């Protein structure tokens, strides 16, 4: 994501009147949703690793993210939530045991933000999807890559919360199946998606806030070297073996949690 503006972009920001421009937010994309969209390109997306616990701790990304393995497991520069994940993972014998289930709560989840033009509003939208869902959407984008400028699509999510499916399907009859407003917005859509809309989209939590959120989730932060009224010890030293030698290395053959 672009962190800084330079040149003419910086001048535009300098001369912009105060109060302009609301930041982009994720568009609701729950099961049962169908959106009519225009796809502007094949690479209008970003990848990120999200932390959070459903209905308990809202999703966030780490302000100082850890290094991940090819399969997405933290391997260096652990965040407090990574440390909580490894604490339980090291005590677990099986994914389904108590510590295995607890480890899963704190593990970073790979997510993708994907951008489209909503043909009902004419405005850009961004949805939040899992890797498998993003792969399904992107496979369709690649299939129709040479016809993106001529096709509208239906972006849909179906199924239950534990087994949802997403799809991106071309509208079969452009003239008959789209409203006049949708056709107008299709023609007015920009040629490229504004990638700066991804900036500021994700809520970033620093170390102190992550500790507060761990406590909110019911995790005892003293187990990973932190105290209520004292500075933390180095996370790499506080969690057994993390970053301190070959015994603490995480391999892709480790248990999947």
Rounded mean pLDDT for each run of 10 residues along the chain, 257 residues in total:
46 49 83 97 97 95 95 95 97 91 96 98 97 96 97 95 89 95 98 95 96 96 82 43 33 38
Task: State the DSSP code for 165.
Answer: E
pLDDT the model gives residue 16: 53
Say how many C-beta atoms besides its own lie within 10 A of residue 233's C-beta. Answer: 13
Q: How far is CA 87 from CA 14, 55, 63, 103, in A?
A: 47, 23, 21, 8
Does the residue 120 lie in any domain?
Answer: no
At residue 187, the pLDDT reads: 97
User: Per the structure, how many domains does the chain have?
Assistant: 1
Position 234 scores a pLDDT of 47
Structure tokens at 95: 């994914």
Residues 197/24, Cβ–Cβ less than 8 Å? yes
38 inside domain: no
Tokens read off for 31: 């099961």
Task: Flag whether 121 is in a domain.
Answer: no
Q: Looking at the domain assignment, is residue 153 inside a domain?
A: no
Are 177 and 171 a contacting pair, CB within 8 Å?
Answer: yes
pLDDT of residue 163: 84
State residue 186 phi and psi, 5-degree precision. Answer: -60, -45
Domain holding 86, by residue range, is 49-109+203-238
**What pLDDT, on a 0 to 100 scale, did the predictor assign at position 255?**
38
Cβ contacts of residue 28 below 8 Å, gap of 6+? none
Residues facing residue 165 across a β-bridge = 158
Q: Is residue 80 part of a domain?
A: yes
**Beta partners for residue 154, in sequence order:** 36, 169
Does the residue 169 lie in any domain? no
The pLDDT score that the predictor gives to residue 24 is 85
pLDDT of residue 8: 52
Is residue 79 in a domain?
A: yes
Cα angle, residue 138 at apex, residues 148 and 47 outer, rounded to 5°: 120
57 located within any domain: yes
Q: What is the pLDDT of residue 4?
A: 40
Q: What is d(CA 212, CA 220) in angstroms, rounded to the nearest whole number?
A: 11
Please tell me the predicted confidence (pLDDT) of residue 117. Answer: 98
User: What is the per-residue pLDDT for 229?
Assistant: 55
């Amino acid at each position: 994501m672009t962190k800084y503006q330079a040149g003419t972009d910086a001048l535009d920001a300098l001369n912009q009147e105060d109060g302009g421009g609301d930041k982009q937010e994720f568009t609701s994309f729950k099961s049962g949703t169908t959106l009519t969209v225009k796809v502007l390109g094949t690479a209008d997306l970003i990848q990120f690793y999200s932390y959070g616990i459903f209905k308990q701790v809202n999703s966030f990304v780490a302000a100082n993210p850890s290094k991940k393995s090819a399969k997405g497991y933290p391997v260096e520069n652990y965040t407090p939530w990574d440390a909580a994940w490894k604490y339980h993972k090291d005590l677990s014998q099986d994914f389904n045991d108590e510590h295995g289930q607890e480890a899963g709560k704190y593990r970073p989840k790979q997510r993708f933000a994907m951008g489209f033009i909503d043909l009902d509003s004419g405005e850009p939208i961004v949805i939040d999807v899992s890797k498998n869902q993003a792969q399904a959407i992107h496979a369709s984008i690649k299939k129709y890559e040479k016809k993106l400028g001529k096709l509208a699509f239906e972006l849909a999510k179906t199924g239950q919360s534990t087994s949802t499916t997403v799809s991106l399907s071309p509208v079969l009859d452009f003239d008959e199946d789209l409203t006049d407003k949708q056709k107008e917005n299709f023609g007015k859509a920009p040629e490229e998606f504004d990638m700066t809309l991804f900036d500021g989209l994700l809520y970033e939590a620093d170390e102190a806030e992550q500790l507060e959120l761990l406590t909110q989730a019911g995790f005892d932060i003293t187990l990973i070297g932190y105290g209520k009224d004292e500075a933390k010890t180095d996370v790499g030293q506080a969690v057994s073996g993390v970053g301190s030698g070959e015994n603490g290395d995480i391999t892709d053959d480790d248990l999947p949690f």
